[in-house]
Amino acid sequence: MSAVIERTVQRLPVPRRRRSPRTIITAGLITAALVALHAAAWIDTDMDLGMLAEGRHGMARFVAEAFPPDFAWDPVVRSGLEACLVTLWIGLLGTTLSIPFTIVLCALGSRATSSNAAVYQIARGIMSFLRAVPDVVFALIFVTAVGLGPFAGVLALVCNNTGVMGKLWSEAMEEIDDGPAQALRLAGAGRVQLIAHAVLPAAVPQLIGLALYRLDVNVRASLVLGLVGAGGIGFLINQSIQEFRFDEMLTYILMVLALVVAVDVLSSVIRRRLTP
């Protein structure tokens, strides 16, 4: 009996999915719009594969001059290691020093903890502004205030990271179970008690994971900030390019690669340990 049923089931034709003319027209319009947008973007960005092919000789010469990398201890490797350490400190301080400001903003800009619509919108607006301004722009502003060096890079990352992490943390707080918070509200708990004893404890693993992710991003961002005078190994890369010392540049890039991989591995290990 079961064999008969199996043969019958196997012979049943798969029903064809019916698509209404309206759905087909909508899909066609969306496809045409995407094609038109990409065509406009291709034209306005001066995309030219032929120009890229013509410039292959310049790229080949650039790569040939970068190999082999310069592994001379003094001054290349030693200064590169010191600059890598500065780059790591910039990313670390830019992440950790932004946490107090992030907590305040996400407490005011999260629906799980803020009941005042005006305060909520103001907090979200501040976070949007800090996210919208690139960290490089913040670095240029702070360089004019405190001069060249890592301090400007730390301040730039604190501003930008507060906006980015504030958005991520506020959304994480909105996704937690609302049961403990409701129980505390019924017991007469205030807003600070609600945040400290219900919202933050429930969201701590996710918040720490997001902070570690931002640390990884900020270490890489601090490299770019060094190109505009905010210190770290990015400054050495920019200097070696300006002096046409491409072998030194390649050495510094390899150091950056090792630093980014190390931070990424460490962050992944910590996140796995935090995952229940």
Task: Let me know if residue 5 belongs to a domain.
Answer: no
Written as tens digits, the pLDDT of the chain (276 aa) is 555 555 555 555 555 666 677 778 888 889 999 999 999 998 888 888 888 787 777 778 777 777 877 777 888 788 888 888 888 898 899 899 998 998 888 878 777 777 778 888 888 888 889 988 888 888 888 888 888 888 888 999 999 999 888 888 888 877 766 666 666 666 666 666 666 666 677 677 778 888 888 888 888 888 888 877 777 888 888 888 888 888 888 888 888 888 888 888 888 887 777 665
Q: What is the rounded distance in angstroms from the CA atom of residue 186 to the CA atom of residue 169?
A: 25
User: At 124, which CATH number?
Assistant: 1.10.3720.10
Q: Are residues 80 and 48 in the same domain?
A: no
Task: Let me know if residue 238 belongs to a domain.
Answer: yes
Q: How far apart are the first and last CA of the chain?
A: 47
Instruction: Yes or no: say if 218 and 88 are a contact pair by the CB < 8 Å rule.
Output: no
Model pTM? 0.75
Q: Are residues 101 and 38 in the same domain?
A: no
